[in-house]
Structure 1
Amino acid sequence: MVDAGWDEERVLFTPLTLYMEYINLKYDAFLKEKLKDLDLTTGDLTYLINIFYHDKLSQRQLADILYVSEANVAKIVKRLEKKGYIERVPDEANKSRKILNLTQKGKLTTYSLIKITYEWETKITNGFSEEQVSNLKKILYELTQNSADF
Structure 2
Amino acid sequence: MKPTEKYISYLINHSSTVLQSAVKKQFAPYNLAPEQSLVLAILRRENGLTQYEIGEKLKKDKANIARMADNLEKKGFIERIRDPNNRRALKLYLTAQGEKTFDEALTVFKKFDDEISSRVTAEELSEFKRILYKLTSEK
Shorter-normalised TM range:
0.7 to 0.9
Unaligned runs of 5+ in 2: none
Supply the distance in 2 between the matched residues of 1:39 and 1:100 (Cα, whole angstroms): 19
User: Any conservation in 2 of the 1:89–1:98 contact (CA below 8 Å)?
Assistant: yes
Higher strand share: 2
For 1:45-84, list aligned pairs within 5 A: 45-84=37-76
User: Any conservation in 1 of the 2:80–2:93 contact (CA below 8 Å)?
Assistant: yes
Supply the distance in 1 between the matched residues of 2:131 and 2:43 (Cα, whole angstroms): 24
Per-residue deviation, residues 54-77 of structure 1 (Å, max 9, x unmatched): 444210122223333212211220
Supply the distance in 1 between the matched residues of 2:137 and 2:47 (Cα, whole angstroms): 20
For 1:1-150, list aligned pairs within 5 A: 14-91=6-83, 94-96=85-87, 97-146=89-138
Unaligned runs of 5+ in 1: 4-12
User: Any conservation in 2 of the 1:48–1:106 contact (CA below 8 Å)?
Assistant: yes
Supply the distance in 2 between the matched residues of 1:116 and 1:15 (Cα, whole angstroms): 32
Q: The residue matched to 2:32 in structure 1 has which SS?
A: coil
1:124 Cα shift?
A: 2.0
1:138 Cα shift?
A: 4.0
Q: CA RMSD in A?
A: 2.9
1:24 Cα shift?
A: 1.3
Relative contact order: is structure 1 or structure 2 higher (C-alpha 8 Å, sep ≥ 6)? 2
User: Any conservation in 1 of the 2:30–2:105 contact (CA below 8 Å)?
Assistant: no
How many pairs were matched up? 137
